[in-house]
């Protein structure tokens, strides 16, 4: 099965100085819409669209490059072009030219005679499409995005695109996809299997009790990692006020649940966890990426960043819903005997 690149949000590149704007919008297929405007009498606003990549060969592939006469003159003056190089280029003439210059252009294109047609195009060729310049810009855009390496599912809307802008949009898309990969779970877990610890077992490790116990079960645990699960229901007390009619799990509760998961890992290192509690020392790099709502199942994955020493542990915690990171943080915590906290 063919692998596609997919985006989850609008990706925008803007060059205000040159009036350039390119937008990639999430879509089930690949679609491109292009608008150009050179603000001249001979080439103003044109629009081209490719609804289905299957139509590329018939609708887009034969669209040729184009150039303005003044650009051509610069290339000729600097000996940067040879006659055969432009035999298939559309030349737009946006000023009056005399017969001597027409004769020189005829020699360039190896034609006995050339004229400027009524629509301002040199008659060295005939247009394949009324909007061939816009279609050629669309062709360029597809070619530049092909550098992503895999077909893209998105609707690309481009105003005044060009190679430089196309490449920048491609970079933004690549960065978005790479970030999305980092946010995906690097582990797999069968939520239907028997848990390592159920909620009663968890209460043997943690001093927390409902309604402030926010993990339901522990699925896996090793020397330096732990995986816990929380099933979010509408009955959670905090949904009564956060927010009525639009329930969202509070970020502080997500972090607390992640910390409780880590607490089980830390307290598992002592023979009598019921005599200890865990206390936060520091929380860094907290990020809330997606909202969590009733009906979601949160998978917490905590990993020690270094071995715990003197009862202090530093760990990276991530919370996932449907394989996507919703919250992450670095947490430092200490375990203390209960009597020590009362001194």
Beta-strand ranges (E) seen in 96-171 are 152-159
C-alpha 59/C-alpha 329 separation (Å) is: 50
Backbone phi and psi for residue 206, each to the nearest 5 degrees, phi listed first: -100, 145
3-state secondary structure of 60: coil
Give the end-to-end CA distance of the chain in Å, rounded to a whole number: 64
242 classed as catalytic: yes
Backbone angles phi, psi at 176, to 5 degrees: -60, -45
Distance from C-alpha of 254 to C-alpha of 124, rounded to nearest angstrom: 68
Contact 280, 332 (CB under 8 A): yes
What is the C-alpha to C-alpha distance for residues 188 and 195, in angstroms, rounded to an integer? 14
**Helix (H), strand (E) at residue 329:** strand 324-337
Handedness of CA 216, 332, 185, 170 (dihedral sign): positive
Bond prior to 243 in cis (omega within 30° of 0): yes
As a whole number of angstroms, the distance between CA 307 and CA 295 comes to 35
Catalytic residue from among 128, 129, 155, 163: 163
Strand partners, 302: 226, 317
For residue 5 the two structure tokens come to 């690149």
Which residues belong to the active site?
Answer: 163, 242
């Amino acid at each position: 099965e063919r692998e596609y690149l997919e985006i989850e949000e609008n990706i925008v590149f803007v060059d205000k100085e040159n009036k350039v704007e390119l937008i990639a919008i999430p879509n089930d297929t690949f679609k491109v819409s292009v608008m150009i405007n050179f603000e001249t009498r001979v080439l103003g606003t044109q629009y081209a669209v490719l609804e289905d990549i299957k139509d590329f060969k018939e609708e887009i592939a034969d669209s040729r490059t184009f150039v303005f006469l003044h650009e051509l003159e610069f290339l000729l003056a600097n000996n940067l072009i040879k006659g055969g190089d432009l035999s298939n280029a559309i030349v737009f003439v946006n000023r009056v030219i005399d017969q001597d210059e027409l004769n020189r252009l005829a020699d360039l294109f190896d034609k006995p005679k050339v004229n400027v047609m009524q629509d301002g195009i040199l008659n060295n060729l005939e247009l394949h499409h009324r909007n061939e310049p816009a279609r050629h810009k669309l062709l360029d855009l597809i070619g530049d995005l092909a550098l992503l390496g895999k077909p893209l599912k998105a609707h690309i809307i481009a105003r005044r695109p060009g190679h430089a802008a196309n490449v920048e949009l491609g970079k933004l898309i690549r960065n978005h996809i790479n970030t999305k990969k980092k946010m995906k779970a690097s582990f797999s877990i069968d939520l239907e299997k028997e848990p390592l610890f159920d909620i009663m077992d968890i209460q043997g490790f943690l001093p927390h009790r409902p309604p402030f116990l926010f993990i339901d079960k522990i699925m896996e645990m090793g020397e330096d990692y732990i995986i816990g699960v929380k099933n979010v229901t509408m009955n959670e007390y905090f949904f009564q006020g956060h927010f009525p009619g639009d329930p969202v799990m509070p970020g502080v509760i997500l972090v607390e649940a992640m910390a409780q998961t880590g607490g089980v890992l830390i307290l598992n290192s002592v023979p009598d966890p019921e005599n200890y509690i865990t206390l936060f020392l520091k929380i860094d790099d907290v990020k809330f990426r997606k909202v969590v709502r009733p009906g979601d199942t949160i998978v917490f994955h905590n990993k020690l960043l270094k071995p715990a020493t003197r009862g202090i542990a530093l760990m990276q915690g991530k919370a996932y819903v449907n394989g996507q990171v919703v919250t992450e943080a670095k947490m430092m915590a200490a375990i203390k005997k209960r009597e020590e906290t009362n001194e």
